[in-house]
Amino acid sequence: MQVSQNTAVMDRAVQDKAVGTPRRSFLSVWWALVDTRIGVIPVPIYAILVALIAGFIATGKLPTEICMVIAILAVCGFTCAEIGKRLPVFRNIGAAAIFATFIPSYLAYNHLLPDELFKVVTDFTKQSNFLYLFISAIIVGSILGMDRNVLVKGFLKIFVPLAVGSVAAGVVGTLVGMAVGMSAYHSFFFVVVPIMAGGVGEGAIPLSIGYAEILHVPQGDLFAQVLPPVMLGSLTAILLSGALNFVGKRYPHLTGEGRLQPAGDDDLHPAAHPEMTGASAVTTLAAAGITAITLYLVGLMCHRLFGLPAPVSMLFLAVLVKLLRAVSPELQEGAYVVYKFFSTAVTYPLLFAIGVAMTPWDKLVSAFNVPYMVTIVATVATLMGTGFLVGRKLGMYPIESAIVNACHSGQGGTGDVAILTAANRMQLMPFAQIATRIGGAITITVVLIVLAHIV
Q: How far apart are CA 267 and CA 422, in angstroms?
A: 30
Q: Report the range of poorest mean pLDDT among 2-16, 224-238, 255-269, 413-427.
A: 2-16
Any residues with CB less than 8 A from the CB of 193 and at least 6 apart, and which?
170, 207, 226, 443, 444, 447
Given a cut of 90, whether residue 82 has pLDDT beyond it is yes
Beta strands in 197-320 (DSSP E): none
Q: How far apart are CA 349 and CA 75, in angstroms?
A: 8
| Residues 88, 154 share a domain | no
Given a cut of 50, whether residue 300 has pLDDT beyond it is yes
Residue 319: pLDDT band with limits 50, 70, 90 = confident
CA dihedral (380, 385, 388, 389) in degrees, to 10, reads -150
Is 67 buried (19+), middle (13-18) or exposed (0-12) by CB count in 10 A?
A: exposed
Are 100 and 80 a contacting pair, CB within 8 Å?
yes
**Average confidence (pLDDT) over 41-66:** 93
The pLDDT, as a whole number, for residue 4 is 42
| The length of the chain, given as a count of residues | 455
Reported as half-sphere exposure (CB side, CA atoms, 13 A), residue 66 has a value of 3
Q: What is the per-residue pLDDT across 157-203, written as a single tens digit (0 to 9) for each?
A: 888 999 999 999 999 999 999 999 999 999 999 999 999 988 776 67
| Residues 430, 341 share a domain | yes
Residue 442: pLDDT band with limits 50, 70, 90 = confident
Given a cut of 70, whether residue 410 has pLDDT beyond it is yes
Q: Report the range of poorest mean pLDDT among 220-229, 296-305, 339-348.
A: 220-229
**Average confidence (pLDDT) over 50-77:** 93
Please state the φ and ψ torsions of residue 41, each to the nearest 5 degrees. Answer: -95, 120
Last residue of a domain, one of 128, 144, 179: 128
Q: What is the per-residue pLDDT across 332-386, written as a single tens digit (0 to 9) for each?
A: 989 989 988 998 899 899 989 988 987 788 877 877 788 889 999 999 999 999 9
The pTM for the full model equals 0.77
| Residues 381, 304 share a domain | yes
Residue 402: pLDDT band with limits 50, 70, 90 = very high
Q: How far apart are CA 308 and CA 438, in angstroms?
A: 10
The pLDDT, as a whole number, for residue 390 is 94
Given a cut of 50, whether residue 437 has pLDDT beyond it is yes
Buried b (16+ CB within 10 A) or exposed e, 315-345: bbbbbebbeeeebeeebbbbbbbbbbebbee
Indicate the number of domains in the chain: 3
| Residues 156, 24 share a domain | no
| Residues 197, 64 share a domain | no
Last residue of a domain, one of 73, 105, 128: 128
The pLDDT, as a whole number, for residue 102 is 87
The secondary structure of residue 91, as a DSSP letter, is G
| Residues 164, 59 share a domain | no
Instruction: Report the percentage of the chain scoring pLDDT > 90.
Output: 41
The pLDDT, as a whole number, for residue 275 is 54
| Residues 165, 209 share a domain | yes
Given a cut of 70, whether residue 15 has pLDDT beyond it is no
| Residues 158, 79 share a domain | no
CA dihedral (199, 102, 260, 315) in degrees, to 10, reads 50
The pLDDT, as a whole number, for residue 388 is 95
Q: How far apart are CA 426 and CA 257, in angstroms?
A: 10
| Residues 19, 92 share a domain | no
**Average confidence (pLDDT) over 106-116:** 93
Distances (CA, A) of 179 to 185, 367, 376, 380: 13, 17, 13, 17
Residue 269: pLDDT band with limits 50, 70, 90 = very low
Structural domain harbouring 290: 131-454
Are 142 and 426 a contacting pair, CB within 8 Å?
yes
| Residues 373, 352 share a domain | yes
Given a cut of 80, whether residue 95 has pLDDT beyond it is yes
Determine the straight-line distance between the first and last CA of the chain, rounded to whole angstroms.
60
The pLDDT, as a whole number, for residue 199 is 76
Last residue of a domain, one of 128, 146, 177: 128
Q: Helix crossing, 3-18 with 25-34: angle to 10°?
A: 160
Distances (CA, A) of 258 to 177, 242, 392, 402: 34, 13, 15, 12
Residue 401: pLDDT band with limits 50, 70, 90 = very high
Distances (CA, A) of 247 to 252, 272, 419: 8, 25, 15
Are 399 and 424 a contacting pair, CB within 8 Å?
no
Distances (CA, A) of 146 to 129, 153, 160, 428: 27, 12, 21, 10
Are 219 and 208 a contacting pair, CB within 8 Å?
yes
How many CB atoms lie under 10 A from the CB of residue 63? Answer: 13
The pLDDT, as a whole number, for residue 260 is 84
| Residues 212, 101 share a domain | no
**Average confidence (pLDDT) over 212-235:** 83
Q: How far apart are CA 79 and CA 107, in angstroms?
A: 14
| Residues 250, 187 share a domain | yes
